[in-house]
Amino acid sequence: MNLKEEIIALSKEIGISKIGFTTADDFAYLEKSLRASIEEGRSSGFEHKNIEERIRPRLSLKSARTIISIAVAYPRHLPQQPQKTAFKRGKISPSSWGLDYHYILQDKMERLARGIEQLTQGLEYKAMVDTGALVDTAVAQRAGIGFIGKSGLVISKEFGSYMFLGELITNLDIQPDQPVDYGCGDCNRCVDACPTSCLLGDTTMNAQRCLSFQTQDKGMMDVEFRKKIKTVIYGCDICQICCPYNKGISSPPLVDIDPDLAHPELLPFLDLSNGQFKEKFGLIAGSWRGKNILQRNAIIALANSNDRSAIPKLLEIIDKKQNPVHMATAIWALGQLVKRPNQEMIDFIEGISSDNPDVLTEKEAFLKVAKNLQV
């Protein structure tokens, strides 16, 4: 076998689902769209900040000649359902089931690099996942992993879009692969299904309108998006669920998945301390944003699931005044669950004292609806 064939064989031993090779040439064609995304306020803000580094691999590794792109498929269905309890449950995106995929990909890429070092002399490399400089989807498409769909995700015939992507920028000289010869065609299912119209239909999106972004963004969630997240407290998979390439595909789990963490009980989730959250959820990808943002989402999910048993907890959150975002979100959730508040509840909300603008906005909105109902 030549070096490329040996690396492909090695990748299979490591558990890499698909591997591709491309040159370390610049991705100059991306510059216009990357700059437009920032200028038009469509970027999430989570991306690597330096555009030059995003499109020029040799700024990350001076000796770069070949980029090895890897894909690791992950399941879209839970291997088993969570236990039935008295509490309603929220949902966490499949990309955040089990151990954080950053750890999984970094481990596989390091093992791949160590294996390559046994095959050839003088390897220089830089490993990246989605927190790195390069645009993973652009690398994967050029390396033949799959095509970039209208969802903005890389899609392959073998694994659909449920793939984690990473790359090794290397100094190796390896014959590049060609992009795949299939794509979305006239299909617009993901564009039509997106509840916030964040997909622009040309593989780009307004990331700030994506529900996945909304579940990760700080501060108050805009009213427009609250009902649309339903009971999902991290991520969004609507564009993947409706994609024809994902029909009938569900890869096996990469690691053990605890279904009770994938679909956490919402009310108990609100009582987690920082330490308890870290101990229970600290190793999943969704934990990176911390407990407070996910608890904000859980409050919204309780309202969306019409869980009236949450009302005492919401009143407690409002009364304690510990977290203004939680407090304001709880006022909104209370208004969703209590369609005709009695005078005692109106007096309670009316008596809230706060100088936080979000709390005051939600208080005013609650009282306006409540008093209109009394007329």
Residues acting as catalytic residues:
130
3-state secondary structure of 16: coil
CA distance 302 to 311: 9
Beta strand 125-128 pairing with 163-170: antiparallel
- Please name which of 97, 104, 333 lies closest in space to residue 237, comparing C-alpha atoms: 97
Instruction: Quote the strand ranges of the chain, DSSP E.
Output: 18-23, 66-73, 91-92, 125-128, 147-148, 154-155, 163-170, 232-234
User: How far is 340 from 372, CA to CA, in rounded Å?
Assistant: 10
Distance of CA 253 to the CA centre of its chain: 18
Token couple for 6: 């040996």
Q: Do residues 160 and 245 touch, judged by C-beta distance below 8 A?
A: yes
**For residues 271 and 21, what is the distance between their CA atoms, to the nearest angstrom?**
48
CB 82 within 8 A of CB 23: no
Q: Look up residue 252 and give its DSSP letter.
A: P
Annotate 10-26 with b (16+ C-beta within 10 A) or e (fewer).
Answer: bbeebebbbbbbbbbee
Residue with tokens 């803000």: 45
Backbone angles phi, psi at 125, to 5 degrees: -155, 160
Q: Kindly state the DSSP code that residue 175 receives in the 8-state scheme.
A: P
